[in-house]
Amino acid sequence: MKLKIGVLGIQGDFAMHQKSLRKLGVNAPNIRYNEELALCDGLVIPGGESTTFVKLLKKTGMFDALIEFNENKPIMGTCAGLIALSTSLINHNMETLGLIDISVERNGYGRQVDSFIDDVRVDGIETLVEGFFIRAPRIRSLGEGTKAIGFHNDEVVMAGNERILAMTFHPELTNDTTVHRFFIDKYVRK
């Protein structure tokens, strides 16, 4: 049976994640309602604006549905998705899903003009992957049960726990599907 990995489509760059997943032969529907979540083997929360994400998740009732979904199924979060999944924000008072024990600094690298593209080293992947850091958050600390997985120079830019893979960069903005394949292999099919 074909894998079905939904992409949260309430805000942000969900279409590029869908394109990456479809290149890998995965059914990648746009998920906007709680009922659609139950039909998925995994979920991607894309980048976007984290405050808007959380407000829309609360308004639509998906906030609690995502927490329940993650009790048995994996989620990958990129940029704002990482922020929404984290347990704490250093420089903001926004409520988060609290699904991965990390502390995050929003816009940790600076403003839009400070955005950059550079190589990322990921444990378990032999080649470097290209990371697009756009107003990217910074992972400031990892809590219990969370391990560092990806690095830009010596800084942690990707982390994971049993059912969450989260990163500060945008892997969907490249033609390379390595990070999405990593999520499928290590989290969805495990």
- What are the two backbone dihedrals, phi and then psi, of residue 34, each rounded to the nearest 5 degrees? -50, -45
Q: Of 36, 40, 79, 152, which one is the catalytic site residue?
A: 79
Q: Is 79 a catalytic residue?
A: yes
Q: Is 170 a catalytic residue?
A: yes
Torsion of CA 138, 139, 141, 142, to 10 degrees: 180
- What are the two backbone dihedrals, phi and then psi, of residue 104, each rounded to the nearest 5 degrees? -125, 145
Inter-residue contact 17 to 179 (CB < 8 Å)? no
Q: Of 36, 40, 152, 170, which one is the catalytic site residue?
A: 170
Q: Is 152 a catalytic residue?
A: no
In the numeric block, the tokens 């080649």 are attached to 127
Q: Of 17, 40, 172, 180, which one is the catalytic site residue?
A: 172
- Tell me which residues are annotated as active site: 79, 170, 172
